[in-house]
Amino acid sequence: MLKSTIGKRSSKMKNTIERGSVRKFAEAIGDPASIYFDEEVGKNSKYKNNIAPPTFPVTFNVGSIPELNLPTEGLIHGEQIYHYTRPLVVGEDVYCWMEVKDYYEKSGNFGNMGFLVLTKHGEDPSGELLFTEERIVIISETVRKGMLV
């Protein structure tokens, strides 16, 4: 069903890591680490600035993959894994895009489930990779049937 989307990707989108957004995100996830919001702590850290929490890239705009028409409801969050080359720093620009890495199906107690593997990439302005996020989206049999209509 979604095998034809493997290898498809979105265009790169520019995202700026804003101090206020980092603070709100850290508060929302309940992480009180001062490295995220205390400017003095950031200046005195080895990064010389505040950094973003590890899951902050979930907020980034990655554009859209035109061939990937997923429903807005009924999808199941399966897994999310981040790999970093270094922390993301407040004030920097990150260029992000999403790529469909795989799609496979499995049969289980709830019928045939689809597993869509997406990878989000983030680079600095020079093109150096900063992070990848691998996400698995589970598509139930009911949702899959609705997508075929």
**H-helix or E-strand spanning residue 95:** strand 93-108
Give CATH for domain 3-17+60-148.
3.10.129.10
> In this structure, what token pair is assigned to residue 93?
């620009």
21-66: per-residue pLDDT in tens?
A: 999 999 999 999 999 999 999 999 999 999 999 999 999 999 999 8
> In this structure, what token pair is assigned to residue 113?
């489930």
Q: Phi-psi bin for 127: left (phi > 0), alpha (psi -120 to 50), beta? A: left
Angle at the Cα of 68 from the Cα atoms of 73 and 25, rounded to 5 degrees: 55
- How large is the average pLDDT for residues 86-115? 93
Q: What is residue 142's predicted lDDT score, i.e. its pLDDT?
A: 78
